[in-house]
Amino acid sequence: MYKFFTVLGVYFCLVSAAGAQSPFVSVAGIPVYCTAPNGAPVVGVFDPSLQDVGQALLYGQQPVIRMNPYILQALPPIAQVFFYAHECGHHLSGDVINGYTHNFINPNTELRADMIGIRMVRDQMHPSQDQLLLLEQVIKTNPKWDATHLPGPMRAQWIRQCYWTDSENCL
């Protein structure tokens, strides 16, 4: 059974394992799929050389989400899926097509990706309160966020607010 979540007219999809086929990628044992604004499927790549949990980029014209499997496996499943959804959010919002890089000029790209990512998790996974608290703890205590992301406690609060509202500014 396919479940689709629409953001800006494009789809993020979580499917049952029985229905999973390429170009789906499995994150925490959950098949996930992301589509770019131009309709192209976003290819998921596991790259142990990546120095971060994930990255959204274009490889030529091909939209890609790179994920570090070693960093992922150290995280609880809810966080693994959230970080994939966060990177998908960069594609869905058009950040990648519009030249997104981890730029210090517009940190709003990271806020928007967090907003899209947590709403995907909310609407597709329907996480329990315990799962949400676990995700919040991961976000809050990670000392490795770069300057484009809010500091951990502020980021966790932003994500929590975005989970509970459909407002564009999460307030």
> What pLDDT digit, counting tens, does each position of 139-148 carry?
999 876 777 8
Which one has a higher pLDDT value, 14 or 41? 41
Q: What percentage of residues in the chain have a pLDDT greater than 70?
A: 80
For 64, phi then psi, to 5°, come to -135, 145
What angle is formed at CA 76 by the lines to CA 80 and CA 160, rounded to 5 degrees? Answer: 75
Q: State yes or no: pLDDT of 125 exceeds 70.
A: yes
Write down the pLDDT at residue 21. Answer: 32
> Could you give the angle at the alpha carbon of 167 between the alpha carbons of 24 and 99, nearest 5°?
55
pLDDT at position 99: 64
Residue type, 142: N
What mean pLDDT comes out for the span 21-45?
85
Residues 6+ apart with CB under 8 A from 135: 76, 78, 79, 82, 121, 127, 159
Q: What is the mean pLDDT of residues 148-158?
A: 90
